[in-house]
Structure 1
Amino acid sequence: MFVMSVLMTVAFIVDVSALSIVFTALYVIAFGVTLGEDP
């Protein structure tokens, strides 16, 4: 979770829109999965 947020931040800093979109999507998916697994 933390690693993905860091990678997403790095992607925004580097300004790689494609990677930013991918990392954002992964972050949202991971966040949703975490909420689903943790009652």
Structure 2
Amino acid sequence: MMTLAQLARIVEAAHYTGAEDRLISGVTIDSRRVN
């Protein structure tokens, strides 16, 4: 069983990963340019 607190944490994590994915993809593109 999932508690509301766990669901809220997962939802928050999903929002953060969306932003982080953009940052990470930007970083990987930059590192590819450098390499």
TM-score bracket, shorter-length normalisation: 0.5 to 0.7
User: Rg bigger for which structure?
Assistant: 2
Q: Which has the higher contact order (CA 8 A, sep 6+)?
A: 1
Structure 1: gaps spanning 5 or more residues: 1-13
TM-score (norm 2): 0.55
How big is the alpha-carbon RMSD for the aligned residues of Structure 1 and Structure 2? 1.3
Structure 2: gaps spanning 5 or more residues: 1-8
Identical-pair percentage: 4
The runs of at least 4 consecutive aligned structure 1 residues that moved more than 3 Å come to none
TM-score (norm 1): 0.51
The aligned length equals 25
